[in-house]
């Protein structure tokens, strides 16, 4: 590098670092389409199936309006305690504006729609989420047409590639449901839109009121990209990366997990087990996401110096390396999810419960390493373990999918499970082992949340 260029770069870099702009473009483009794991219930059903007694347990469905109507005088104190905890323990937490506080005594006697609106504002989730009653059915299990839930009752998105609209079955208050189905169904709900459009620059009315500020990374112009900072947690990057791009620390999965675990405990304690399980499923979603290496590392396979270097070059007008890095990580992220979803849904349809990914979710041999999820576990165990294997998995992905960086991986008809079968047997085995390791962790972490929340303590 020429001396003049180096000194220009140094000046530029220090100015961007001050502005927090370095790596900005990179991060903007990062997670525009990715979900974490695809179709979380496919993971959750297997994870809970091995918890003693869980297969037989049932719970009675209750609408959100009934739940809130009963607890509206006690819920404010629980939410207030949660807000105090978040402000004290989460360094980058944007406080909830006082105006959004749940109504307390003034909420008593309100109609279901007003209670729902007050609640979604108080917990700062997408106000278009109807939170109706339904359960997702297993792949291959048909739902009678008259019982299929209207998609808009489940999601604010137009559609979701990995979730068939016809797999959601409408449920009525008072229906008796399997606990496993309730908690598994709820583990998909955060990907149905809970966290979409919540930022000040999301162009939504709620975003102007919620107090989260501008979106720290992810593309504010892509509705799906707006949920990224809630579903990703970059706790294990180098100090150099944080100095160059501090906003990568402005993520919310820990806040979401703690909030929804608090709501779950509250619902159980107040005698509303349906909502206890549903909130538990919401919390589990974010824990499962952090077991996905592309949700726990910004650019797997790329060293910190290189990351900062390509960010600096981009700011100097040399965009090629950064565009290439962003395209690469986005494609690989999607390829991994496509492989996991296609392989697992095919196994479900074929009743091949011995598929290594499904079997790994039921494997409790490592449960002793995280029996019960604590407040620090998300950072110190869950995401630490997925971040640690990110480089290895990233390298394996490219060996088994040599076209991973050029395919349009989110094309609806693409099946990376089928593509993987063309690779040499040793590469297939290696890929299976690495993804099964992730699933073993997802299974362990799912059970670790349930053991904390389950008031009957079954499976401890």
Would you tell me how many other CB atoms lie within 10 Å of the CB of residue 265?
17
Stretch that binds Zn ion, among 43-51, 146-154, 186-194, 208-216 (CB under 5 A): 186-194
Residue closer to Zn ion by CB (options 289, 314) is 289
| Per-residue tokens: 172 | 């009525």
The least distance separating Zn ion from the CB of residue 181, rounded to whole angstroms, comes to 20
Which range of residues in 109-117, 226-234, 313-321, 422-430 is near Zn ion by CB under 5 A? 226-234
> Shortest gap between Cβ of 34 and Zn ion (angstroms)?
8
Going by their DSSP bridges, the two strands 168-170 and 176-178 should be labelled as unpaired
For Zn ion, the closer of residues 43 and 308 by Cβ is 43
What contacts 380, CB < 8 A, 6 or more positions away? none
Nearer to Zn ion, 65 or 233 (CB): 233
Q: What is the 3-state secondary structure (H, E, C) of the chain?
A: CCHHHHHHHHHHHHHHHHHCCCCHHHHHHCCCCCCCCCCHHHHHHHHHHCCCCHHHCEEECCCHHHHHHHHCCCHHHHHHHHHHHHHHHCCCCCCCCHHHCCCHHHHCCCCHHHHHHHHHHHCCCCCCCCCCCEEECCCCCCCCHHHECCHHHCCCCCCECCECHHHEEECCCCCEEEHHHHHHHHCCHHHHCCCCCCCCCCCCHHHHHHCCCCCCCCCCCCHHHHHHHHHCCCCCCCHHHHHHCHHHHCCCHHHHHHHHHHHHHHHHHCCCHHHHHHHHHHHHHHHHHCCCHHHHCCCCCCCHHHHHHHHHHHHCCCCHHHHHHHHHHHHHHHHHHHHHHHHHHHHHHCCCCCCHHHHHHHCCCCHHHCCCCCCCHHHHHHHHHHHHCHHHHHHHHHHHCCCCCCCCCCCCCCCHHHHHCCCCHHHHHHHHHHHHHHHHHHHHHHHHHHHHHCCCCCCC
Residue 279: CB minimum distance to Zn ion, A: 16
Sign of torsion, CA 16 89 104 452?
Answer: positive
For residue 395, the number of C-alpha atoms closer than 13 Å in the C-beta half-sphere is: 6
Q: Toward Zn ion, which CB reaches closer, 191 or 355?
A: 191
Q: Is 162 in the site for Zn ion (CB under 5 A)?
A: no
Which is closer to Zn ion, CB of 169 or CB of 191? 191
Piece of 134-142, 228-236, 304-312, 337-345 that binds Zn ion (CB under 5 A): 228-236
Least gap, CB of 188 to Zn ion (angstroms)? 9
- Segment contacting Zn ion by CB under 5 A, of 36-44, 203-211, 265-273, 378-386: 36-44
Q: Which residues ranging from 352 to 391 are in contact with Zn ion (CB under 5 A)?
A: none
Residue 215 or 432: which CB sits closer to Zn ion? 215
Number of residues that bind Zn ion (CB under 5 A): 4
Q: Which of 96, 231, 256, 444 is close enough to bind Zn ion by CB under 5 A? A: 231
Stretch that binds Zn ion, among 161-169, 230-238, 249-257, 398-406 (CB under 5 A): 230-238
Query: Nearest distance from residue 190's CB to Zn ion, in Å?
Result: 5
Q: Which lies closer to Zn ion via its Cβ, residue 45 or residue 67? A: 45
Q: Provide the pairing of β-strand 134-136 with 168-170.
A: antiparallel
Q: Which residue stretch of 143-151, 205-213, 281-289, 405-413 sits at the interface with Zn ion (rule: CB under 5 A)?
A: 281-289
CB of 214 to Zn ion, least distance (A): 21
Rounded least distance, CB 107 to Zn ion, Å: 30
Q: How far is the CB of 318 from Zn ion (least distance, A)?
A: 33
**At its nearest, how many Å lie between Zn ion and the CB of residue 193?**
11
Cβ proximity to Zn ion: between 57 and 438 the closer is 438
What minimum distance in Å lies between the beta carbon of 228 and Zn ion? 9
Pair 154, 134: CB distance under 8 Å? yes
Distances (CA, A) of 198 to 212, 213, 325: 7, 9, 27
> What's the min distance (Å) between Cβ of 100 and Zn ion?
23
Q: Which stretch binds Zn ion (CB under 5 A): 189-197, 199-207, 350-358, 368-376?
A: 189-197
Interface residue with Zn ion, options 36, 197, 253, 293 (CB under 5 A): 36
For Zn ion, give the closer residue by CB, 67 or 279: 279
- Report how far residue 411's alpha carbon sits from residue 123's, in angstroms, rounded to the nearest whole number: 34
Cβ closer to Zn ion: 191 or 445? Answer: 191
Identify which of residues 228 and 310 has a Cβ nearer to Zn ion in the complex. 228
Closest CB to Zn ion among 187 and 322? 187
Q: Tell the smallest beta-carbon distance from residue 215 to Zn ion (Å).
A: 16
Rule CB under 5 A: choose which of 62, 289, 337, 454 binds Zn ion: 289
Applying CB under 5 A, the residues found at the interface with Zn ion are 36, 191, 231, 289
């Amino acid at each position: 590098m020429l001396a003049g260029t180096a000194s220009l770069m140094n000046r530029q870099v220090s100015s961007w670092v001050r502005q927090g702009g370095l790596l900005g473009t990179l991060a903007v483009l990062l997670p525009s389409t990715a979900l974490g794991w695809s179709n979380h219930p496919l993971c959750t059903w297997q994870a809970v199936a091995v918890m003693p007694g869980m297969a037989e347990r049932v719970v009675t469905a209750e609408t959100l309006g009934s739940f809130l109507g009963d607890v509206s005088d006690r819920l404010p104190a629980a939410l207030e305690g949660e807000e105090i905890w978040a402000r004290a323990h989460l360094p980058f937490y944007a406080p909830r504006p006082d105006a959004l506080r749940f109504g307390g005594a003034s909420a008593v006697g309100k109609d279901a729609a007003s209670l729902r609106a007050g609640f979604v504002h108080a917990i700062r989730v997408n106000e278009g989420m109807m939170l109706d009653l339904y359960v997702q059915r297993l792949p291959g299990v048909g739902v009678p047409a008259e019982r299929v839930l209207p998609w808009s009752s489940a999601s604010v998105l137009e559609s979701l590639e990995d979730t068939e609209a016809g797999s959601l079955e409408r449920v009525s208050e008072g229906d008796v449901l399997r606990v496993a189905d309730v908690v598994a169904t709820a583990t998909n709900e955060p990907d149905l839109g809970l966290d979409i459009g919540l930022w000040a620059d999301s162009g939504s009315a709620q975003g102007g009121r919620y107090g989260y500020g501008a979106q720290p990374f992810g593309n504010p112009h892509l509705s799906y990209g707006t949920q990224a900072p809630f579903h990703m947690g970059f706790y294990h990057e180098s100090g150099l990366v944080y100095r160059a791009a501090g906003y990568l620390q402005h993520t919310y999965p820990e806040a979401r997990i703690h909030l929804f675990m608090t709501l779950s405990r509250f619902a159980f304690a107040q005698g509303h087990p349906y909502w206890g399980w549903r909130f538990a499923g919401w919390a589990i979603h974010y824990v499962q996401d952090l077991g996905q290496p592309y949700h726990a590392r910004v650019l797997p396979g790329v060293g910190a110096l290189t990351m900062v270097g390509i960010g600096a070059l981009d700011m100097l007008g040399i965009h090629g390396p950064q565009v290439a890095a962003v395209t690469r990580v986005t494609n690989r992220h999607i390829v991994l999810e496509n492989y996991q979803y296609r392989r697992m849904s095919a196994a479900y349809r074929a009743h091949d419960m011995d598929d290594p990914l499904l079997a790994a979710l039921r494997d409790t041999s490592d449960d002793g390493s995280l029996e019960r999820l604590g407040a620090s576990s998300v950072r110190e165990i869950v995401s630490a373990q997925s971040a640690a294997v990110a480089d290895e998995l990233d390298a394996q992905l490219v060996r088994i999918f040599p076209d991973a960086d050029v395919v349009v991986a989110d094309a609806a008809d693409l099946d990376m499970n089928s593509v993987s079968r063309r690779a040499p047997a040793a590469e297939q085995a290696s890929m299976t082992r690495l993804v099964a390791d992730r699933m073993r962790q997802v299974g362990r972490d799912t059970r670790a949340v349930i053991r904390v929340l389950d008031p009957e303590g079954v499976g401890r």
